[in-house]
Amino acid sequence: MTVHDSHEASADYRPSPPAGDDRSLGELLGDIANNLTTLVKQELDLAKTEAKQEAAKAGKGVGLLGGAGVTGHLALLFLSLTVMFLLDTWMHTAWAALIVTVIWAAVAAVLAMKGRKELQEFNPKLETTQKTLKEDVEWARQQKNS
């Protein structure tokens, strides 16, 4: 392995400064500020990504609930009339209307339960971001105490 290859393999590695580090206090504070800026940017990117994922889950649940409402309404309006008039040949119109209404109410209930389940899986807590922020705070404390 050449020196060049070794350098490429460890491009992300930053060695600790030697014990006799001769950087000034201003340089050290500048390095800390740069590191904290990078850390905050990374945490914000993580939070954005998590928020987008959770919003997509919520959107799916809301869409299913909306679909359940529209489907239930249109189905009750048009299909109920069709089936009711078909059943009217064997029974009184009122009984036919009741049977059709119960069937479409069951369909709407199933769709609503599926939409509700999707919304219950919605997690606005951004748990990964919270975890990494806690780790970052602990790291900063360790750096302060060093």
> How many domains in the chain?
1
Is the alpha carbon torsion for 135, 137, 140, 145 positive or negative? negative
Identify the band that residue 15 occupies on the pLDDT scale cut at 50, 70 and 90: low
**pLDDT at res. 113:** 93
How far apart CA 84 and CA 87 sit, in angstroms, is 5
Q: Are the CB atoms for 75 and 107 separated by under 8 Å?
A: yes
Q: Is residue 15 part of a domain?
A: no
User: What Å distances lie between residue 80 and 5, 67, 90, 93, 102, CA to CA?
Assistant: 75, 18, 16, 12, 10
Q: pTM (2 decimals)?
A: 0.38
Q: Is residue 10 part of a domain?
A: no
Q: Is residue 50 part of a domain?
A: yes
Identify the domain containing residue 88 by its residue range. Answer: 46-146
Q: Is residue 92 part of a domain?
A: yes
**pLDDT at res. 10:** 43
